[in-house]
Structure 1
Amino acid sequence: MLYKFIKKYIFYAIIYFMKIQFFGATKTVTGSCFLLEIEKQNILIECGLFQENDKEFLNYEPFPFNPRKIDLVILTHAHLDHSALIPKLVKEGLRCRIITTPATKDLLEIMLFDALKVQKNENHKQLLYDEENIYKALKQIETLPYQKTLNFNGISIRFLDAGHILGSATVEIKINNKTIVFSGDIGRTGNPILKDPIPPTEADYLVLESTYGNRLHKNLEESIKELIQAIKDTFKKEGNVIIPAFAVGRTQDLLYILNKSVRQGILEPIDVYLDSPLAEEATRIYLSHPELFDDEALREMRHPNRSSIKLHFIKSVEESKKLNTINSKAVIIAGSGMCQGGRIIYHLYHNIYREQCSIIFAGFQAKGTLGRKIVDGEKEVLILGKMLPVKAKIYTIGGFSAHADRDELLEWLKAIKTKPEIFIVHGEPEVIDIFKKSIEERFNFRCHCPERLSTYEIG
């Protein structure tokens, strides 16, 4: 009898022993990667690319864990700072299932191959992985729709709509009455196209993003007015509007807003050049998932108006080069969103020194990136080996961000009825410190600011 009691006690003690290890997005915005160890189960949440210049070398180092010993991978969404190293995991021995939402799987099928293409075209280092690794990774993906529950060896896993990009999710993991939540990237309430984010109602432990945890975004309507006015002012000066945009999420929002503005008569029909084959494919995937749209976007789809923007999809490099012969009245949207590569570089090269042109930043610019240097007001920047003066007018319109701001993050937290222990990630150090104080002052929650490779025992 005593033996059975001791055996039962030890069993539950093992079950309750859990720890979280942090391998990325710690006091930096990119490189999301966390390992949750429950009993003898190793669950990896995210495996993304480091995109800051001073962190890129980490992408080429061996993983600080053994991919062969991972039992399950959970992916919140398709952005590369969350997903792009998954084929490298497979290359180094990952054989388990990869769980994500159906829309995220669809986006990964184009984004991972595009990431490899960028490596081949612009990276002189050794490739992180090859096509075979991507194909193997895609075969290992299984989908889990929002609100459905997956039982994995006694561990309950559920996705909630994060409202960030198509298919983005917050992950809720339950084991023995303990709930661990990974926020993923949290979207904004009232953003175009997608439904609003759904917060969890309970959590014992929460790994929480903080990208904009120190600031407030402009109102969306004010941001739309600023965008429209910037286009009108630039066209009056006979210049071009250049918009660096992420191929997935921001581009679709901008096209939706511009199209709606023309339909409402706020903006004259204009020529918009989408110079991103990836963004074109992503837009088609967006249109294939209307079940994820909010009511307004569904109405726009069901009752189209004849009046719309004149949208040109630019496919080949030759077509892209021809855009640089257009001197005025063109809106050019291209990636990469942080100006670290891609076709946007060439459009900046041909327009940034022209006073009549404008560059509109509508997304986050990480430290060390070309986009951040321009936003921070540098008078000259190095592009394609040449120092160019920054004479174009620079706009930073935060209202289009796909990330919740400080107050929206705090409101998201307010929905949690329990008192979670919080690990703040996905933010620059000074942002994390400010956001930590905001949480502690408002909720009195216990907060941690993990370092890379740090481990916390929980449970």
Structure 2
Amino acid sequence: MPVTVRACGAARTVTGLSLLFETPRTRFLVDCGMFQGPKTLKALNWEPFPYRPRDIAAVLLTHAHIDHSGLLPKLVKEGFRGPIHTSGPTVDLCAVMLPDSGHVQEMEVKHLNLRNRRRGRGEVEPIYTANDAVASLRAFRSVPMDRWLEFDELPGVRARWWNAGHMLGSASIELEFQEEETVRVLVSGDLGPDCSVFQHDPQGPEALDHVFLESTYGDEDKPCVDHAERRARLEGLVREAMHPDGALLIPAFAVERTQEICWDLVTLMQSGRIPKAPIVVDSPLAIRATEVFLEHAASLENGRSVRRALRSPLLQFTESGEQSRRIAEMEGFHIVIAGSGMCDAGRIRHHLKRWLWAPEATVLMTGFQAEGTLGRLLLDGKEEVRIQGETIRVGARIRQIRDYSGHADAPELAAWLKARAPVGGSVFLVHGEPPAMEALAARLTADGVARPGQVLQPALDDTFILPKGSPARPRDAARRRPDPAAAGRPDWHNKRAALLLAIEDALEKAPDTAAREALMARLRTTMETH
């Protein structure tokens, strides 16, 4: 039996990365991420795994972000009993991120079941609970970086973690399969940009058989912005947002993005470049993650400065729900940093309900916004959006700063792959939306980094044989999950929301009651005839 791989996630979409590797002697996962974005895509989290969890010998984890680690508690809950190997900082971050993920799911399901009961529908269960997540933490094992490791449960396999420069503890994982022939594979994980302020530049080995390369920003060429320029841009955006009766809302990922933004805001205020104002970090996860960052500050670039800023009295941390709700009572200009970064969950949503209609408010996007998320709808200029069943007309300014990205852009991805040469077999593009993947594939070929036909873009559950030094060969896959090609696009839930907004808008613009009643009659007739 040859070495094979199955794309169990992040296949032609950005989230849910998981790769199943199999050899004649063992089978294991690299990452086990949660799907995020449109409801159709998130529904895959409730689908059965395309394998039996009890048959998986181990998980090798690149980093702690939920789209790479978020289904690990489900894996353990459903029978996985092996170890989860990852870097020390990732172990610490997962210890706060996974229980938080379980808690979020419990709360979301609680509200969903309340709506379902009102509609006469059955109740649903969370994918896993906070307690399930805590139980999964017992499987985590810390590994050193830059050293070949062998594991009893993975006979014939060696692994080595390389710094990926994406976030605290992030890694690319090199695999060596020692079967009839030695096959060398590299999974990039998420790669950081060249201008990262927190992280050191990504590293990796040379002379590989196959590479799995992330492609989040595969269609973009972002200019490299140094730290001074980034702070200057943030300064300008804060000054523009300042209104005596307003607020600056910053949806931000709780891990690393929030800490970077806090560092820059505190430094700008302490130096007098922007007026001092309350900075509220309204995220229990971000609060706990900040403690992990303080523990590992020595491993970061500018670690001392980061530690001082994160301990500044300018920062206010709100832990409880009651404290979060009291933010609405604050008077005068203030800044609120809350998750989630794509505005599709978390406390940022009730702050958006409070402020999104108000012209004196500003919403500042700081990270990638996947298709179908509320954050993407706002960036796309939607005049109305729906939050928790309520229609809100967008009156706030929507701004974006892209200098906090934790992902390499297309030239950086190409340069990273070129440094891994020669790659004798295939280059698999994962963790990207189709336009980004196609653009990156074209760039790699045009620049001579990859040979014609060498770059593959697997769909969900595609399976390949990985030979030594030659292209991967497709293999039939059993137990495919539903609609993998369309799952990452805006789905019928998004279209329903858009239709409801359009109906409300048309009714408001109708000249009189008779016109409104005529419009509703036509709509009712259309529904009754279908």
TM-score (norm 2): 0.80
Does 368-377 or 228-237 show the bigger shift? Answer: 228-237
Kindly provide the amino acid, as one letter, of the partner of residue 243 in structure 1.
Answer: I
User: Aligned partners of 2:405 and 2:285: how far apart in 1?
Assistant: 20
Q: Write out aligned runs for 1:90-105 (5 A).
A: 90-105=76-91
User: Aligned partners of 2:343 and 2:131: how far apart in 1?
Assistant: 28
Match of 1:423 among 425, 428, 435: 428
Report if aligned partners of 1:258, 1:309 keep a CA contact under 8 Å in 2: no
Match of 1:405 among 409, 412, 420: 409
User: Aligned partners of 2:147 and 2:323: how far apart in 1?
Assistant: 44
Q: Write out aligned runs for 1:181-260 (5 A).
A: 181-221=186-226, 222-236=229-243, 238-260=245-267
Match of 1:168 among 167, 170, 173: 170
Matched, 1:35 2:9: no
User: Aligned partners of 1:343 and 1:200: how far apart in 2?
Assistant: 41
Matched residue of 1:400: which SS? coil
Which 4+ runs in 1 deviate beyond 6 A?
Answer: none
> 1:299-345 deviations in whole A, cap 9, x for unaligned?
4258x589967110011111111111235421100011111111100
Match of 1:394 among 398, 404, 420: 398
Q: Write out aligned runs for 1:9-48 (5 A).
A: 14=1, 17-48=2-33
CA positional deviation for 1:258: 1.7
> 1:330-362 deviations in whole A, cap 9, x for unaligned?
110001111111110011111111112110000
Report if aligned partners of 1:19, 1:36 keep a CA contact under 8 Å in 2: yes
User: Aligned partners of 1:436 and 1:378: how far apart in 2?
Assistant: 31
Does 18-27 or 149-158 show the bigger shift? Answer: 149-158
Structure 1 unaligned blocks of 5 or more: 1-13
Matched, 1:452 2:460: yes
RMSD, matched Cα: 1.9
Matched, 1:84 2:70: yes
Larger radius of gyration: 2
Match of 1:316 among 316, 320, 323: 320
Kindly provide the amino acid, as one letter, of the partner of residue 450 in structure 2.
Answer: N
Kindly provide the amino acid, as one letter, of the partner of residue 82 in structure 1.
Answer: H
User: Aligned partners of 2:88 and 2:20: how far apart in 1?
Assistant: 23
Match of 2:389 among 380, 385, 388: 385
User: Aligned partners of 2:35 and 2:394: how far apart in 1?
Assistant: 27
Kindly provide the amino acid, as one letter, of the partner of residue 18 in structure 2.
Answer: C
Matched, 1:337 2:341: yes
CA positional deviation for 1:291: 3.7
CA positional deviation for 1:264: 3.9
User: Aligned partners of 2:391 and 2:258: how far apart in 1?
Assistant: 28
CA positional deviation for 1:132: 4.6
Matched, 1:55 2:41: yes
Report if aligned partners of 1:259, 1:309 keep a CA contact under 8 Å in 2: no
Assess, with a 3 A threshold, how the Cα gap between structure 1 residues 308 and 117 changes in structure 2: closer, same or farther.
Answer: closer
Report if aligned partners of 2:211, 2:423 keep a CA contact under 8 Å in 1: no
CA positional deviation for 1:180: 0.5
Matched residue of 2:204: which SS? coil
Structure 2 unaligned blocks of 5 or more: 113-123, 468-530
CA positional deviation for 1:188: 1.4
Matched residue of 2:239: which SS? helix
User: Aligned partners of 1:456 and 1:276: how far apart in 2?
Assistant: 41
Q: How many residues align?
A: 441
User: Aligned partners of 2:436 and 2:306: how far apart in 1?
Assistant: 38
> 1:353-380 deviations in whole A, cap 9, x for unaligned?
1112110000111111111111111000
Q: Report % sequence identity.
A: 36
